[in-house]
Amino acid sequence: MGVVNVTPDSFSDGGRWASTDEAVAHGRALLADGADVLDIGGESTRPGATRPLLAVELGRVVPVITALVAEGAVVSVDTMRAEVAEAAVAAGASIVNDVSGGLADPRILAVAADAGVTFVAMHWRAHSDQMRDHASYDGPGGVVAAVRDELAARVEALLAAGVADDRIVLDPGLGFAKRPEHNWALLRGLDAVQDLGFPVLVGASRKSFLGDLLAGPEGPRPVGEREAANIALTLDLAGRGVWGVRVHDVRSSRDALRVRARLLGDAG
């Protein structure tokens, strides 16, 4: 899943693809590099981010989705708003990727159910400007048990809303209301999420816990210099059977996966 941030303030590449033409061109490049899905978002969810107006988010994503779907791309819309999801699906998006799992705007579940599209439910506790205050996992089993149980509750809500069980994908929400140690514990214990019985999407690309791991004398490794670490993680996740990885540098991840496949005897 290649990331297309149509935003001025995303933590990794905010502003680089902020116009429709730039975002469409970037989407084309990601497809050429081997992306299976383009995840198009108009709201930054970096820590501390404030939300754009609805009209602004719609204006950012709908034209990009329309253009890329017309060129044959499989598109996911990264949104927490029912109105944006509905407009995106009308424009041709076949996946709704909601980082709130339907908690920010419960009406989004009905949109996905009515449209029959795939719904990615991420583990989430609060909006970006508040999520640092919710990074506490002191119950039995720690963060792994909490994420598993809270995602299970989202599955129940999705099914109750009419989303088909074969249209549900789960995401452990690395970096969202989680400190670095929580992210690593979740990755080690990812089988607990997989045991819920649904495909799993993981988004670790360029996130701060990788920068902290690779920190040097001058502080965390800069965002643009974390790709090798993400590739290592992608290869591990591939071996554990995740449904997908959400990445910024599609070519590097695709190259690494091709090497892995060849070593395992897959000529492709």
Helix axis angle, 107-115 to 142-161, nearest 10°: 60
CA-wise closest residue to 113 among 180, 160, 182, 73:
160
What are 53's two structure tokens?
Answer: 């107006």
Separation of CA 59 from chain center = 21
**Which listed residue (60, 206, 207, 221) is catalytic?**
207
Residue indicated by tokens 């209301």: 177
Q: For residue 236, which amino acid is it?
A: D
Single out the catalytic residue among 81, 148, 167, 246: 246
Q: What distance in Å separates the CA atoms of residue 231 and residue 195, rounded to the nearest whole number?
A: 24
Three-class SS of residue 216? strand
Distances (CA, A) of 108 to 40, 60, 65, 129, 242: 17, 19, 18, 21, 25
Q: For residue 132, indicate whether it is catalytic.
A: no
* Known catalytic membership, residue 178: no
Catalytic residue ranges: 207, 246
